[in-house]
Structures are given as C-alpha cells and as structure tokens.
C-alpha cells in the first residue's frame, strides 16, 4: 500500500513535467505540422538559465548557494521561474523568426532537418565554457527541504512511510496552474481561437484576416515558456543539472514527444493526458516489473497505441480529401 | 581545432543519400577530430592521455591529468628519459565511449605517440585498449578496475587493483564489524562495465560470506529519478545498499534515498572518489563507505611528500585518481628508461617486469595478467569529506 501510494505520487510529479513539455511539441505540430526537435533543448536551457540565475542571485541575498539546508524566501524561486520563462520565450521567438520562418514555404523535410540543426546548435553552444560549461552542476535549493506529509501506511511486514515533499506538490500545482492558463488561452480567448483557426487551415485563416505569422510566433513563445517552466521544475526536483548535450535530456524530450503522440499530436488536452499516461506506465513498470526496462515500457506503449489507435488517445481520425 | 568536412568522396551523391548520414550525425552528436599539427622531434618522447576532462566524470580526467603532468615535470627536470624530454598530449573523451575510440585513434595514428595513459572508467578503457593493442602502442590504465581491460592484449597494463579484489573488500567490510550487514541490496549502472562487474564480484563475495541479497536494481548513467528503484530497495529491507557507480549519479541517488527516508548505510567503490561527491550529496552520504586506492591521510612520508608537491602545483588535495595518474606515468617512464628501444613491444616487455615499484598508492608489482597487486583502503564520508577507516591487504 505504502509503495503503491509513493509510486503514484512520483508518477504524478513526473507526469506533469512530461505534460508541460509535450504541450510545446503538440502546439507547434498543430499549427505548422512539423516536429520541433529543438523543443527539448529549450527545456535544457530553461534548466540551465534557472541554475545560472540562482547561482548569481543567492549570494546577493546573503545566502550560500551550495548550502542545501537554507532556502531563500519563496518569491526568489518564483522570480527565477518567471525570468527563465521570459528568456526562453524570447529564445523561442528568435528561433522561429530566424530558423523556421524563412522556410515557411519550403518542404516539411527541410524544416525538420533545420530543427535538428537548431537542436545541435543549442546543445553545443550551451556546452561552451563561457556559456554553461560541459560539466554537471548542482542546482541550489530554492524551496525549503521540508516534507508536507509523512504518512505511515501498511506495507510489507510492517508500516512504511509515504513522503510527500514540498517540491512534488509545487511541481504538480505549478504545472496545473500553467495548464489551466493555457486551456483558457486556447479555448476562451480571441488569440486562442486564431491559433485553432490557423491549425485548422493556414490558408483559410489568413484569408479571414488572421495574422498567421504573429500567431505562429505566439505559439512558439508559449511552448518555449512552458518548456522553460518544465526545465525549472525538473532541476528543482532533481538538483543534479546534467551538461546541455547529455543524452539524458534527449531522452526526456523524446518521452515528452511520445506523450504528445500517445495523447494525439496536435491536441492540447491529449498532450497532458499522454504525459500522465507514460509517467504512470514508466513508474509502475519500473517498480512492479523491473527498473531495467523503464524506457522500454514507454516505447512499447507507443507502439501499441500506434497500432491500435494511430491518431492517439484523443486525436480525431483525419479524413483524406479526394 | 577545426573540423574536416565529413564526406568528400560522395561527389555525385544526391541529397537523399546524405540524409541518413546527417541524421546519424545529429543523433550521435559526432564531432570529427581536427587536423593535428604533427611535429616529430627526435629529442622528445610524446605520450598521449585520453580522459574525461569534461562531462559527468570530469574530475576523473582532470585529476589524472594533473597527476601525469606532475610526473612529467619531475622526469623532465631530472634530465628526461635517456636524454629525451617527455611531452604530453591530452584529449578529452567527454566520458563517452565513442569519443574515447576517436581520440585514441587520433593519438595512435596521427600523433604517433610512444605510449598511451588512460582511462579511468573501465568502459572507456575498453574502448581505447583494442586500438592501442592493434597498433602495438603500450597503454597503461591508471585506474580501470574491470578485469576485462587488460585481457584485451599484451600491450595493455594497469597500476590499480581489479574488481574481484575490490568487490571482496567491500563484501568483507559490509559483513565486518563496521556494518554487520547480513542483507544487501545493490543499485547498478546497467550500461557501465565497471558498475556491472563490481556488482557481480561484490555479490559473489557477499553471498560466499553468508550474506543474503535482497534486491538488485539498476539505473542508467545520467538518470535523474531513482524513486522506483529506491522504493523497491526500501521494501526489501536491506542492512546495506551497495552502489558501484560514479560520483555524480551516486550523489543524486544518496539525496533521493534520504528524501525517501532511507537511512540504510550505502557502500561503494573507487568510482565515488571525487571532491564533487560531497559537493553534490552534502551530508546525505554521511556514514557511508567506499573502497579506494589511497588515502591522503596516510602518514607514509612518500604519500605526504607527493601531497605537498601536488598542493604546491595545483592548490588542491590529490584524490586517488591523481595519485594513480602520477604512479602510472612514473611506471611508464621507468619502463622506458630500462627499455632498449622506444618500440612498443620493447617498452611493454619492460613494463611487464615492474616489481615492487614504490608508488604513492602503495608497492606496485605487475602480475602475469598485467594487473597490479596492491592493498585497498576503506574511507568513510563524514560531513561530505572522506576519512580514512582501514587498509585491506590483498590475499597472498
């Protein structure tokens, strides 16, 4: 029982991270019909910008960034989160403006290759010594290291503790707030209506007077901001920040991409659902079957979904027009 | 350093045939080595070092390189090797096996080094060793403990003990008076030959000593979330958790274990040896132990003298890897001095004869399998710093 609850809690926290990242993939796909491979690198930059800001900011407040026991007031973390989101939003804007916009009329394959190029560029520039360096760093603690709840539940031959950390709750609630804001933006505002119109048909949307370029830029900014938030929350939970070109980041991006596909790529609610689904499969598989095949469960699920429901859980079947 | 264009021969190939290659390059992040400036000078001996100067195991490569440089400085100040000065070329393999293969090929084929020193991680030594063996260039690994490394061939040596010994040292220690453990869980990096090999040896010895294994969990280097494995370990109720990994992962594991309320002591091997370990884990590892090649607290004047020299040059206390880098380089120089020529086979023959070499990490004799036989030390983490506990001699 205790183990079940603990695994469930971990899956919820990790699932919300996957969902945040998957949203970026799915929104860009919905509008431009291409997979933005550089998206996971925005997550990485979000993580590293948070680290760089924290390392600079904490000493100014008279705190030792290497001391894991003391944490700054809550607003510091919030400020760093906002700053990372803004910077990554700008970066997302710039990437779209300079790398993808010139290719708006080019074949989709060209854009895809460009995305891989942008991804490599971001990874390797990030690893330069005067940017972030090629060594892992430790993220300073921004939240007090406290457990909100320690429950004793029956498990095994006695009682075992279930720990709910402040970090997990913050991850879940921050992601939930961001996703609700996005939901509101996409389904309740004029801009969101424009986004959905562009995703339905770019040509028709522009005939109706919708500024397509602005909508596309906005989508990139939005996706990048969510990715930055995911990067920030990720290093809050896992303070060992891996170097920008570490393969683990690629895997994180890949899993989020799988989440988007499983949920039905192009579908905003589907991305969130997909994120939680793969987190549950991954965590429960790792605990109850074997941790050796953690990634296998995720990708096996992808294959099954693609066989059974090729459009994903919430995706609507596409009818080819003749 | 500039890179050569990757494909020049496919002049008539269309864009379609480049695509798989481009994708491959993208996926694996391969960077091609630049053109070396090859200046052969008969008055110097060039040796190569490949190590992880950056990446998750960066301190391994950096410490080893510092140790080697100190040894080179000394030998050159004393007149070099039979009148020839030693020059070092160091390449960063970024802790990546593919990269290690690339840089060793470069050292051997284009820089034409006389001998190669490296790597620390067994997986990376295993990537470099076949290349040295094929080209008859002697290679000394300062600190790869997996037995397979020197089995590659008669050109491959090491100056550290091997995992069957290290595993039994850890198992004996776990069963001994310090931990009195009868149930052990292990958490292994499943893609690392070092980690997998050491786990096997530990398990074998621990079971032979009457202990019981509760669960065997795995992770992959760079993983950030260990909660599934740690929850499973917690359920299995071990007295000790054996984690034969490298320091970055171990630090992260320790932090998460303590968060989950696991107070069980952890035990590990020489992969823990880095000043970064305490930086990452803080107090989470207090009361945990690892086996190592030497302790800076060893009062032996030979050790203290080395530490003084190292501190004067680098303003830091040498870790085990810096000491092994120094010893490996000095054993290589002794072998070269005795050798009748600088041909690889001649140097290797002399290296194989190394006996009772007075190293910082103990008396080093190379056995018939080109491994070193020497004692290990156990260290305990206290306030994020390793403290000497005991020395364990090899079985005679």
> How would DSSP label each residue in A153-167?
EEETTEEEEEEEEHH
With contacts defined as CB-CB under 8 Å, which chain B residues touch A138? Answer: 279-280
Residue B11 has pLDDT above 80, yes or no: no
How many folded domains does chain A comprise? Answer: 1
Which residue out of A3, A136, A143, A237 would a mutagenesis test of the B interface target, given it has the greatest number of B Cβ atoms within 10 Å?
A136
A134 pLDDT tier (thresholds 50, 70, 90): confident
Q: Does any CB of chain B come closer than 8 Å to the CB of residue A239?
A: yes
Please tell me which of the candidates B26, B237, B280 has its beta carbon nearest to residue A116.
B26
Burial group, residue A133, by CB count within 10 angstroms (0-12, 13-18, 19+): middle
Angstrom distance (rounded) from CA A50 to CA A135: 16
The CATH number that applies at residue A31 is 1.10.3470
Widest pairwise Cα distance in chain A: 69
Is the sign of the CA dihedral B354, B356, B361, B366 positive or negative?
positive
A163 contact B CB<8A: yes
Tokens 């120094």 belong to B326
CB of A221 within 8 A of CB of A93? yes
Checking if the pLDDT of A289 tops 60, the result is yes
φ and ψ of B32, to 5 deg: -85, 145
Domain-embedded: residue A316: no
Kindly tell me if the per-residue pLDDT of B2 is higher than 60.
no
The two three-digit tokens of residue B91, written as one number: 């390449």
Cβ contacts of A245 on chain B, cutoff 8 Å: 29
Contacts by A303-311, CB closer than 8 A, 24 or more apart: A305/A261, A305/A262, A306/A261, A311/A264
What is the predicted pLDDT for the residue at B20? 55
Residue A208 CB neighbour total at 10 angstroms: 10
**What are the tokens at A5?**
């609850």
pLDDT of residue B4: 46
**Mean pLDDT across B203-228:** 91
pLDDT for A137: 85
3-class DSSP state for residue B171? helix
Judged against a pLDDT cut of 90, whether residue A320 lies above it is answered with: no
Cα→Cα distances B193→A50, A287, B227, B245, Å? 34, 24, 23, 10
Say what the pLDDT of residue B396 is.
59
- B21's CB contacts (< 8 A; 6+ apart) are B6, B7
| Rg, Å, chain A Cα set | 20
Instruction: Please state the rounded mean pLDDT for residues A120-127.
Output: 91
How high is the pLDDT of residue B8?
Answer: 42
Upstream peptide bond of B158 is cis (omega within 30 degrees of 0):
no
Give the residue on B whose Cα is nearest the Cα of A163.
Answer: B260
Most confident of A289-293, B39-43, B125-129: B125-129
Instruction: Answer whether B280 sits within 8 Å of A294, measured CB to CB.
Output: no
Q: How far apart are the first and last CA of chain B?
A: 50
Residues of B within 8 A of A297 (CB-CB) are none
Count Cα neighbours of B315 within 13 Å in the Cβ-side half-sphere.
0
Confidence of residue A156 (pLDDT cuts 50, 70, 90): low
Q: What is the DSSP letter of B395?
A: P
Task: Tell me if A240 and B235 make a contact (CB, 8 A cut-off).
Answer: no
Which residues form the domain of A78? 2-308
Query: Which of the residue ranges A155-169, A235-249, A282-296, B145-159 has the most confident prediction, judged by mean pLDDT?
Result: B145-159
pLDDT of the residue at A321: 52
**Per-residue DSSP letter, B81:** B
Among chain B, residues having any CB pair with chain A shorter than 8 Å are: 19, 22-23, 26, 29, 54-56, 58, 94, 190, 217-219, 222-225, 227-229, 231-232, 234-235, 237, 248, 251-252, 255, 259-261, 279-280, 282-283
From chain B, the residues in CB contact with A248 under 8 A are: 222-224
Q: How far does the CA of residue A309 sit from the closest CA of chain B (Å)?
A: 28
Least confident span in A17-26, A288-297, A298-307:
A288-297
What phi and psi values does residue B139 have, to the nearest 5 degrees? -130, 135
Rounded to an integer, what distance in angstroms lies between the CA atom of residue A27 and that of residue A158?
Answer: 47
The beta-carbon contacts of B354-357 under 8 Å, at least 24 apart in sequence, are B357/B327, B357/B330, B357/B331
Is residue A55 within 8 Å of residue A320, measured between CB atoms?
no
Higher pLDDT, B18 or A17: A17
| Chain B partners within 8 Å of A120 (Cβ) | 26, 29
Note whether B119 and B51 are within 8 A (CB). Answer: yes
Rounded CA gap, A223 and A95, in Å? 12
| Rounded CA separation B144/B104 (Å) | 16
- pLDDT in the model for residue A317: 66
Give B373→chain A minimum CA distance, Å.
33
SS3 (DSSP) at A17: helix
Residue A319 in any domain: the answer is no
Is A122 inside a domain boundary?
Answer: yes
Starting from the edge strand earliest in sequence, which strands make up the sheet with B115-117, in order? B85-92, B44-51, B115-117, B139-141, B156-158
Q: State the helix-helix crossing angle for A190-200 and A166-188, rounded to 10 degrees.
A: 80
Q: Which residues of A touch B251 (CB under 8 A)?
A: 240
Residues of B in contact with A239 (CB under 8 A): 252, 255
CB contact under 8 A, A136 and B248: yes
Paired strand residues for B92: B51
Please list every residue in chain A whose beta carbon sits closer than 8 Å to the beta carbon of residue B259.
163, 165
Residue A252, both tokens? 């994180």
Within a domain: A256? yes
A141-149's contacts with Cβ under 8 Å and 24+ in sequence apart are: A141/A67, A141/A68, A141/A69, A141/A70, A141/A71, A141/A239, A142/A54, A142/A71, A142/A72, A142/A76, A142/A77, A142/A80, A142/A236, A143/A71, A143/A74, A143/A77, A143/A167, A143/A170, A143/A236, A144/A71, A145/A68, A145/A69, A145/A71
Number of Cβ within 10 Å of residue A174's Cβ equals: 20
Residue pair B220/B189 in contact (Cβ under 8 Å)? The answer is: yes
Does residue A148 belong to the interface with chain B, where contact is any CB pair within 8 Å?
no
- Distance (Å, whole) CA B150 – CA B144: 9
Q: Does the distance separating the beta carbons of A119 and B222 come in below 8 Å?
A: no
Q: Is residue A68 part of a domain?
A: yes
B55–A239 C-beta distance less than 8 A: no
Tell me which chain B residue has its CA closest to the CA of residue A290. B217
Candidates A117, A134, A248; nearest CB to B94 = A134
Q: What is the pLDDT of residues B144-163, one digit of tens each?
A: 999 999 999 999 999 999 99
Nearest to B259 among A134, A165, A286 (CB): A165
Which residue matches tokens 């080109």? Answer: B370
Quick: pLDDT tens for B82-139: 899 999 999 999 888 889 999 999 999 999 999 999 899 999 999 999 999 999 999 9
Cβ-defined contact of B260 to A6 (cutoff 8 Å): yes
Burial B30-66 (b: 16+ CB within 10 A, else e): eeeeeeeeeeeeeebbbbbbbbbbbbbbbbbbbbbbb
The answer to whether the Cβ–Cβ distance between B261 and A283 falls below 8 Å is no
Domain membership of residue A34 (yes or no) is yes
* Number of helices followed by number of strands (H, E) in chain B: 13, 15
Q: What is the pLDDT of residue B171?
A: 94
pLDDT tens digit sequence for A2-28: 788 888 998 999 999 999 999 999 999
CB pairs under 8 A between A and B: 99
Nearest to B76 by CA among B86, B88, B68: B86
Greater pLDDT, A118 or B191: A118
Q: Which of A130-134, B28-32, B258-262, B379-383 has the lowest mean pLDDT?
A: B28-32
Q: Where are the alpha helices (DSSP H) in chain A?
A: 2-32, 39-60, 74-95, 108-126, 166-188, 190-200, 202-207, 212-237, 247-263, 268-288, 294-308
A40 touches chain B (CB under 8 A): no
Paired with B379 in beta bridges are: B290, B388
Delineate the domains of chain B, giving CATH numbers in brackets.
Answer: 44-161+299-374 (3.40.50.2300), 164-292 (3.40.50.2300)
Longest dimension (CA), chain B: 72
What residue in B sits closest to A166 (Cα-Cα)? B259
Closest CA to A309 of A250, A267, A253: A267
Environment class of residue A235 by beta-carbon count within 10 Å: exposed (0-12), middle (13-18) or buried (19+)?
Answer: buried
Give the pLDDT of residue B41.
Answer: 60
Whole-number Å distance between alpha carbons of A142 and A51: 10
Backbone torsions φ then ψ of B3, nearest 5 degrees: -95, 145
Mean residue pLDDT across chain B? 87
pLDDT tens digits, B294-337: 999 988 899 999 999 999 999 999 999 999 999 999 999 999 99
Q: If pLDDT is split at 50, 70 and 90, which confidence band does A231 have?
A: very high
The answer to whether residue A12 sits within a structural domain is: yes
In contact, B108 and B131? CB cutoff 8 Å: yes
Domain assignment present for residue A61? The answer is: yes
DSSP A268-313: HHHHHHHHHHHHHHHHHHHHHT-GGGHHHHHHHHHHHHHHH-TT-S
| CA–CA gap between residue A45 and residue A28 (Å, rounded) | 19
What is the nearest CA distance from B117 to chain A, expressed in angstroms?
Answer: 22
Tell me the pLDDT band of B222, cut-offs 50, 70 and 90.
Answer: confident
């Amino acid at each position: 029982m205790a183990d079940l609850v603990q695994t469930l809690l971990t899956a919820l926290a990790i699932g919300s991270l996957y969902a945040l990242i998957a949203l970026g993939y799915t929104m860009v796909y919905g509008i431009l019909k291409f997979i933005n491979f550089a998206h996971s690198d925005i997550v990485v930059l979000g993580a590293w910008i948070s680290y760089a800001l924290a390392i600079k900011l904490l000493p100014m407040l008279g705190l030792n960034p290497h001391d894991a026991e003391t944490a700054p007031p809550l607003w510091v973390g919030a400020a760093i989160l906002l700053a990372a989101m803004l910077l990554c939003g700008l970066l997302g804007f710039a990437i779209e403006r300079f790398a993808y916009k010139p290719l708006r009329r080019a074949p989709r394959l060209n854009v895809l290759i460009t995305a891989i190029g942008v991804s490599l560029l971001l990874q390797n520039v990030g690893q330069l010594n005067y940017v972030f360096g090629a060594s892992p760093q430790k993220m300073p603690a921004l939240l007090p290291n406290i457990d909100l709840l320690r429950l004793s539940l029956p498990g095994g031959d006695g009682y075992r503790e279930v720990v709910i950390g402040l970090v997990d709750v913050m991850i879940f609630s921050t992601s939930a707030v961001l996703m609700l804001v996005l939901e509101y933006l996409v389904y309740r505002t004029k801009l969101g209506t424009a986004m959905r119109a562009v995703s339905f048909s770019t040509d028709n949307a522009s005939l109706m007077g919708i500024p397509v370029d602005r909508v596309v830029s906005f989508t990139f900014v939005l996706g990048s901001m969510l990715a930055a938030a995911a990067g920030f929350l990720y290093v809050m939970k896992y303070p060992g920040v891996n170097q920008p070109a570490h393969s683990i980041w690629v895997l994180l991006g890949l899993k989020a991409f799988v989440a988007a596909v499983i949920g039905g790529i192009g579908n905003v609610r589907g991305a969130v659902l997909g994120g939680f689904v793969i987190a549950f499969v991954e965590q429960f598989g790792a605990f109850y079957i074997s941790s050796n095949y953690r990634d296998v469960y995720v990708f096996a699920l992808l294959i099954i979904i693609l066989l059974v429901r090729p459009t994903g859980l919430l995706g609507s079947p596409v009818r080819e027009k003749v | 350093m500039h890179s050569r264009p990757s494909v020049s021969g496919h002049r008539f190939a269309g864009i379609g045939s480049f695509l798989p290659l481009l994708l491959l390059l993208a996926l694996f992040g391969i960077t091609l080595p630049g053109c070396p400036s090859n200046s052969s000078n008969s008055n110097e001996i060039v040796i190569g070092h490949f190590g992880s100067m950056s990446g998750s195991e960066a301190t391994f490569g950096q410490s080893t390189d510092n140790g080697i440089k100190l040894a080179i400085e000394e030998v050159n100040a004393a007149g070099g090797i039979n009148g020839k000065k030693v020059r070092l070329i160091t390449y960063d393999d970024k802790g990546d096996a593919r990269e290690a293969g690339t840089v060793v090929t470069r050292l051997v084929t284009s820089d034409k080094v006389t001998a190669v020193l490296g790597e620390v991680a067994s997986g990376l030594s295993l990537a470099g060793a076949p290349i040295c063996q094929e080209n008859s260039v002697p290679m000394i690994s300062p600190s790869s403990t997996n037995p397979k490394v020197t089995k590659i061939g008669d050109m491959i040596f090491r100056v550290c003990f091997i995992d069957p010994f290290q595993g039994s040292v850890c198992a004996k220690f776990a069963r001994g008076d310090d931990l009195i453990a009868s149930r052990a869980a292990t958490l292994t990096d499943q893609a690392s030959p070092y980690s997998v090999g050491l786990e096997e040896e530990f398990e074998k010895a621990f079971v032979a000593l009457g202990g019981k294994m509760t669960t065997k969990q795995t992770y992959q280097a760079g993983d950030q979330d260990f909660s599934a494995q740690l929850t499973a370990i917690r359920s299995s109720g071990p007295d000790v958790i054996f984690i034969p990994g490298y320091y970055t992962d171990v630090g992260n594991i320790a932090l998460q274990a303590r968060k989950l309320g696991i107070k069980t002591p952890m035990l590990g091997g020489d992969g823990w040896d880095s000043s970064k370990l305490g930086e990452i884990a803080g107090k989470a590892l207090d009361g945990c132990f690892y086996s190592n090649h030497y302790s800076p607290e060893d009062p032996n004047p030979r050790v203290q003298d080395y530490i003084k020299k190292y501190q004067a040059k680098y303003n830091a206390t040498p870790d085990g890897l810096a000491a092994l880098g120094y010893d490996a380089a000095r054993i290589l120089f002794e072998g070269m001095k005795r050798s009748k020529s600088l041909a690889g086979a001649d140097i290797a023959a002399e290296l194989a004869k190394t006996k009772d070499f007075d190293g910082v990490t103990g008396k080093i004799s190379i056995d018939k399998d080109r491994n070193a036989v020497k004692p290990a030390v156990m260290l305990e983490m206290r306030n994020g710093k390793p403290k000497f506990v005991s020395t364990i001699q090899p079985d005679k």
